[in-house]
Structure 1
Amino acid sequence: MRSYRKNSHSQYDLKVHLIWIPKYRKRILIGKVSERTRDLLRQICMEHEVHIISGKISCDHVHMFISYKPQISLSKLVQYLKGISSRILLQEFTHL
């Protein structure tokens, strides 16, 4: 049986598999950068009520399988995930 999420007047099951890469597919997501990226993505998802079903951060790309609410568009969600995490990572790790 599918696991539907409920609002006051609707049921939904919106799931998407996101994959994205750093610029030029550079292998920068290693060590502390990878750990901080994971923490940031979890924090952003929690703030926007997004459920992470599974995810993996490799050295040159990120996989996330998520369930999200219909009140937020997918493009806006990706903007939050990539934009906020990128800005904070560039501030904390100057070598990037």
Structure 2
Amino acid sequence: MSNDNDIRHGRHCVFRIHVHLVFLTKYRRNVFTKAMLDDLRGIFASVCTDFEAELVEFDGEDDHVHLLVNYPPKVAVSVLVNSLKGGSSRVIRKKNYPNLHKKLWGGALWSPSYFAGSCGGAPISVIRQYIEQQQTPH
């Protein structure tokens, strides 16, 4: 999407839903290099496309990554996260990066936990005030 204000349309809905995701490496090990992060960007974008979602932004450090994903309401965030983590782990491990197997063992790239935060739109306080000011019929 070219503009943060772009509103998407489904068959029976109009939406603009973003989620901020943070994934940690297993044991919080420092394993990522720039090349690995570049590969992850492509993998995550591909998985998002499969879910009719869009990877809006991606970056990371040596032990974690941040994703900003625009997704449709029919997608459960937990299902999206499982596919993002599972698919990326499989592909990255197949590429045989030199230090990856030394720092991580047992077949897992990611910690089982993750952070997911909704973001975008008006602050909750503004939405609450708007709803409170609705004209209730008598």
Q: What TM-score do you get using the length of structure 2 for normalisation?
A: 0.63
State the shift of 1:57 in Å: 2.2
State the shift of 1:53 in Å: 2.0
Say whether the 8 Å CA contact 1:38–1:57 is kept in structure 2: no
Q: Secondary structure in 1 aligned to 2:72?
A: coil
Give the fraction of aligned pairs with identical amino acids, expressed as a percent. Answer: 28
Which segment is superposed worse, 63-72 or 43-52?
43-52
Alignment of 1:10 onto 2:13: yes
Which residue pairs with 1:62 in the alignment?
A: 65
**Amino acid across the alignment from 1:53:** V
Alignment of 1:73 onto 2:76: yes
Q: Deviations over 1:2-22 (max 9, x none)?
A: 432111211112111001110
Alignment of 1:41 onto 2:44: yes
In 2, the alpha carbon distance for the partners of 1:80 and 1:18 equals 13
**Amino acid across the alignment from 2:74:** Q
What count of residue pairs does the alignment treat as equivalent? 96
Q: Deviations over 1:44-91 (max 9, x none)?
A: 112222112222122111001111011110000000100010011112
Q: What TM-score do you get using the length of structure 1 for normalisation?
A: 0.87
For the structure 1 residues 58 and 94, does the alpha-carbon distance in structure 2 shift closer, same or farther, using more than 3 Å as the test?
closer
CA radius of gyration, larger in = 2
